[in-house]
Amino acid sequence: MRFEGKIAVITAAGAGIGRATTDILVKEGATVVAVEIDQARIDNMVSALSGEAGAVDGRCIDAMDEGQVRALIVDVESKYGRIDLLVNAVGGSTIVEHPGMTIDEMSFEDWQKLIDFNLSATFLFCNAIIPGMKKAGSGKIVSLASIAGRGLSISSSSAYAAAKGGIIALTRKLSLELGPKGINVNAIAPSLTLTERLMPHWEKRSAESQAAEIEKVPLKRVATARDQAGVIAFLLSSDADFVTGLTIDVTGGLS
């Protein structure tokens, strides 16, 4: 098992890509501190994964609250002695009412919500966890960017694209800072992925619109959360020990 004995922190662990990543790591032996704002999702995770090789330690906190994040990391490090792996999965475009709005349609409040949700939460967890990883001389961090951050999504807002572009730049910069400390920092840039959050928006689209979206993808389908989680798991594993500073496009060939 790739993650036997590892201690991982995964944000937004109760659904979507975060949940799919939690499933893989727990089944392969990790103890996952599953950060999730919805207690019902935590309860469901704990029940569903109770018989697996690893374990779920569910923590119901607001990943956007600095005080809660810092208190959580202090408690986790006290309980387990270290944190080996961090997955920053908090993010998404549907935190605002109109995810595809143009910049002239966007309020400053919308801009701030999207930047904070998609960039600031990643900062908070990196800022709190990296000191312990430096002390240990090892660690792996994977964050969720998006192809929107590469300017490849017409339907995403400029704020979402700016935040995800920030994740790509942050990943590269942290890899330079932390490589000498034995810490790998990478990201993935998903294309449209049918998570629980996005499925209602997908289902509202016409059959023609769905078909046109699929036609753009060389593999002729839309991504699942498991597609993304599999690449995250690779980046967290020892197979990626010599990989850092990279953002992998997980898009079915869309470019």
Catalytic, out of 3, 111, 117, 160: 160
How much is the CA Rg of the chain, to the nearest whole Å? 18
Nearest alpha carbon to residue 129 among 173, 63, 180, 225? 63
Q: Which two tokens stand for residue 231?
A: 């690449």
* Contact predicate 209/149, CB 8 Å: no
Residues 6+ apart with CB under 8 A from 7: 30, 31, 33, 76, 80, 81, 82, 83, 84, 85
* Contact predicate 143/149, CB 8 Å: no
160 is catalytic: yes
Residues 6+ apart with CB under 8 A from 116: 64
Nearest alpha carbon to residue 10 among 66, 76, 93? 76
List residues with catalytic annotation: 160
